[in-house]
Amino acid sequence: MRYALLGPLLVTDDRGTPHVLSAPKMELTLATLLLAAGRVTTKEQLIAELWSGEPPRRASAAVHVYLSQLRKFLAAAGDHEGRAIVTKPSGYLLRLDGAGYDVHDFQAHMRTGREHQHAGRHEAALDSFESALLLVRGPVLDGSAEAPGLSAFATWVEEERLDCLELSVEARTALGRHREVVSLLTGLIAQYPLRESFYRQLMLVLYRSERQAEALRVFHSAQRVLRSELGLEPCRSLRRLHQAILTSDQVLDLPLAG
């Protein structure tokens, strides 16, 4: 079996057949248990996630029904012995027991990628970051994660994805794939105009590609956007980079730090 929570919730059996929950409350229940895989989730935590602080009178009974239905669902997906969801005195525990889980795989790829990047193995680092990015199939639960814990998790996933994109850009830059990086960053800035790190990366790549004037224009574009949207000036690191480009500081000729 394999669980996938980095996007629409999927459970895949050993034959690769996907199993999808159609009932939103059951989907929320499984997603909440997955977030705490290997740890106990109390009934109170489940109720808080399922009804966001406004539970119905028979919330506890409803939780029992959802868990019973989930056990049947997981049995059809490969948990034939009914070992995945365990009832504990303090709540419920989802055991992976060798099942795959895309969140754990994403974190493993990120760790490996950072290790490769730190050691200067940029091709291997890029492979790891690309593998991590492929696991993110879209917004968590199709963007319908309004429960407190799942909403926080969805925010974490998006931030980790953007960090992964930044790291993949750094790996590509270290490999000299400047033209590819310029195109990628231009698209990312259009999509995330308030993320200053993408401006920084684009300015560096343009400067190292002997496109100093374009690098300076990127700074002024960032300045206009930040002033207009937030009433702020670019961050200190972006201002320092702008000054370094103006003076052709030799430190900019060093490889981009991983």
Percent of the chain scoring above 70 in pLDDT = 98
In this prediction, residue 255 carries a pLDDT of 53
Q: What are φ and ψ of residue 163, in 5° steps?
A: -60, -40
Average pLDDT over residues 69-74: 95
| DSSP run (H or E) holding 85 | strand 85-88
The answer to whether the beta carbons of residues 203 and 246 sit under 8 Å apart is: no
151 contact partners, CB below 8 Å, separation of at least 6: 145
- Report helix, strand or coil for 160: helix
Strand order in the sheet with 91-94: 40-41, 91-94, 85-88
pLDDT tens figures, 147-187: 889 999 999 999 999 999 999 999 999 998 988 899 999 99
In this prediction, residue 257 carries a pLDDT of 40
pLDDT tens figures, 235-250: 999 999 999 999 998 8
CA distance 157 to 5: 10
What residues are paired with 87 via a beta bridge? Answer: 92
Whole-angstrom CA distances from 70 to 28, 104, 120, 149 are: 11, 22, 46, 20
CA distance 142 to 24: 11
pLDDT tens figures, 25-48: 999 999 999 999 999 999 999 999
How would residue 254 be classed by pLDDT, with cut points 50, 70 and 90? low
pLDDT tens figures, 1-11: 999 999 999 99
Phi-psi region of 78 (alpha: psi -120 to 50; beta: other; left: phi over 0): left
- What number of other Cβ atoms are within 10 A of residue 210's Cβ? 9
- Report helix, strand or coil for 15: coil
The answer to whether the beta carbons of residues 69 and 26 sit under 8 Å apart is: yes
The answer to whether the beta carbons of residues 221 and 196 sit under 8 Å apart is: no
- Average confidence score pLDDT of the chain: 93
